[in-house]
Structure 1
Amino acid sequence: MILKVFHKTRYDFASPVAGIIQSLRLTPAKCDSQKVINWSVDVPDAVMGEAFRDGAGDYIQTISLRKRVEHIEITVSGTIETIDTAGVLRGHRERVPPRAYLRNTVRTEPNRAIVDLVQDTLRDAASASALEHAHLLAAAVSEALPYRPGATHAHTTAAEAMNAGAGVCQDHTQVLISCAHLADFPARYVSGYLNATEDGSAHEASHAWAEIYIEGLGWVGFDASNKCCPNDQYIRLGSGLDAQNAAPLRGLVLGGGAEVLDVTVVIEAQQQ
């Protein structure tokens, strides 16, 4: 499938800031499920640092504006050819060992509700394979947390989402990571784009899902929000321990106060 991406992020500051430094994870990962046809990241007036691939295989670029600014606008556009690999991450070169993704962060630390969910889900599945266990956990998270925009916020932890009883893709992903760790599976947060949900409705937003490491198979993606494994509707940007660690944009603003964020993401499928 050929997917065309347009992603614009704009920050407007209540008062001018002295400068901005940001780390961007906005270029698609190199792997068998996707091939970049063309891609650009544009930040007017910014000094673009040298790009590199980190130990997790993600493409990172730093930018800075070393002057007083009232706003910053980051525009991503490009075309990707995607291939359905049944959720299995292949051809992705990385140096970080899978077991490094067994540790929790504040955002993925389990509470009693998550512990109970894992125990209840796997209690009668002792004879099932590791892959089947991962699928069971993903399904359990989907059932435990109905998709409900506005039920949580950008800083909600997995434990808080479970207490709320609902959430969005960020919450599903962090809860699933927490569940996977309890079952001794390395797991990580993946940020990217989704062209459409399984029912074909538009999904004009950035998206997130989990990858769980299965011995003998490797990293496998699980989208608990849409009850599926990533297919050719997905574009993978990068990964991390949680939503904050895997964020496509992370940075530091020098001075200033309140800010207003506006994000537009449009994904379109094109004829091959």
Structure 2
Amino acid sequence: MRLSVSHVTTYRYDPPRRGMVQSLRLTPAVFEGQQAIDWRVDVPGGFRGAAFRDGAGDWVETVSLQGPMPEVAVTVQGEVETRDLSGVLRGHRETVPPVAYLRTTNSTELDPRLRELAGDALEGASLQDRLDQAHRLTSAVRDAIEYLPGRTHTGTSAAEALEQGHGVCQDHTHALISVAIASGIPARYVTGYLFVDDGNGHEASHAWAELHIEGMGWIGFDAANRCCPDDRYIRLGSGHDATYAAPIRGLAEGTGSETLEVAVKVSESSQQQQQQ
């Protein structure tokens, strides 16, 4: 499938900031399931700094800006050819060992309820069949946390989302990471895009988890949608949680109010539609 992405993130400051440094993880990952046909990341007024592929195999760029800045916009435009690999991250090169993803963060910290959820999900499961365990944990998280936007926030932890019983893809992903780690399965947070074939494109970024299954490697599990990523998904980058994997991280010089506006649209490219 060929997908087109338009993603604009706008920060507005009052009073204007004196300067800023940003770290951008906004370039599609390199693996057999996707290939960027055309991809541009623009920050008007920004000065490009270091660019490198980190230990997790993600492309990271740095940008600095000099003020005064009342507004900063980060624009992504591009097309990606995707393939359905049933969630398997085949052909992705990285140097960080899977065992590094057996630690939790504030967002994925385990509590008794999460441990109980993991234990109940794996009751009767084969100790040797890690893939089946991963699917069971994914279903258990989705059953326990109803998809309900507007009730959680960026700082909500997996334990808090489970206690409330509702959340969004970020909360499902944090909870799945938690219960996977509790079960001895390395797990990490993935950011990207998801195309929904509703005729209007999809107006949001997306997040899901990857669990490392020995003998198979990293496999994606989208608890929010009860599936493994297929050719509707575009993978950007990963990390221990939403903060580590954030597509944009920055440090601004100055104080005052900040507002954020995000507009994302994922659609089938015009070339894809002509071929149908």
TM > 0.5 fold call: yes
- Deviation of 1:112 after TM superposition, in Å, equals 1.5
Q: What CA RMSD, in Å, does the superposition of the two structures yield over aligned residues?
A: 1.4
2:4 matched residue in structure 1: 4
Q: How does 1:129-144 map to 2 (within 5 A)?
A: 129-144=129-144
Q: How does 1:205-216 map to 2 (within 5 A)?
A: 205-216=204-215
Say whether residues 1:65 and 2:86 are aligned partners.
no
Return the alpha-carbon distance in structure 2 between the equivalents of residues 77 and 46 of structure 1: 17
- Deviation of 1:66 after TM superposition, in Å, equals 2.0
Residues 202, 264 of structure 2: 8 Å contact kept: no
Return the alpha-carbon distance in structure 2 between the equivalents of residues 147 and 58 of structure 1: 29
Return the alpha-carbon distance in structure 2 between the equivalents of residues 156 and 203 of structure 1: 24
Return the alpha-carbon distance in structure 2 between the equivalents of residues 200 and 71 of structure 1: 32
- Deviation of 1:68 after TM superposition, in Å, equals 1.3
Query: Which TM-score applies when normalising by structure 2?
Result: 0.95
- Deviation of 1:256 after TM superposition, in Å, equals 2.5
Q: How does 1:234-249 map to 2 (within 5 A)?
A: 234-249=233-248
- Count of aligned pairs: 271
Partner SS for 1:225: helix
Return the alpha-carbon distance in structure 2 between the equivalents of residues 196 and 209 of structure 1: 15
Return the alpha-carbon distance in structure 1 between the equivalents of residues 5 and 195 of structure 2: 9
One-letter code aligned to 2:138: A
- Deviation of 1:113 after TM superposition, in Å, equals 1.2
Q: Which runs of 4+ in 1 moved over 4 A?
A: 199-202
One-letter code aligned to 1:240: G
- Deviation of 1:115 after TM superposition, in Å, equals 0.8
Residues 18, 256 of structure 1: 8 Å contact kept: no
Say whether residues 1:168 and 2:184 are aligned partners.
no
- Deviation of 1:128 after TM superposition, in Å, equals 6.4
Q: Which one is further off, 107-116 or 125-134?
A: 125-134
One-letter code aligned to 2:240: L
Q: Percent identity?
A: 55
Structure 1, unpaired ranges of 5+: none
Question: CA deviation digits over 1:132-179, x for unaligned, max 9?
Answer: 000000000010001000110011111111111100000000000000
2:268 matched residue in structure 1: 269
Residues 194, 234 of structure 2: 8 Å contact kept: yes
One-letter code aligned to 1:157: S
Return the alpha-carbon distance in structure 2 between the equivalents of residues 51 and 129 of structure 1: 40
Return the alpha-carbon distance in structure 2 between the equivalents of residues 149 and 7 of structure 1: 20
2:103 matched residue in structure 1: 103
Partner SS for 2:223: coil
Partner SS for 1:57: coil
Query: Which TM-score applies when normalising by structure 1?
Result: 0.97
2:53 matched residue in structure 1: 53
- Deviation of 1:55 after TM superposition, in Å, equals 0.5
2:250 matched residue in structure 1: 251
Structure 2, unpaired ranges of 5+: none
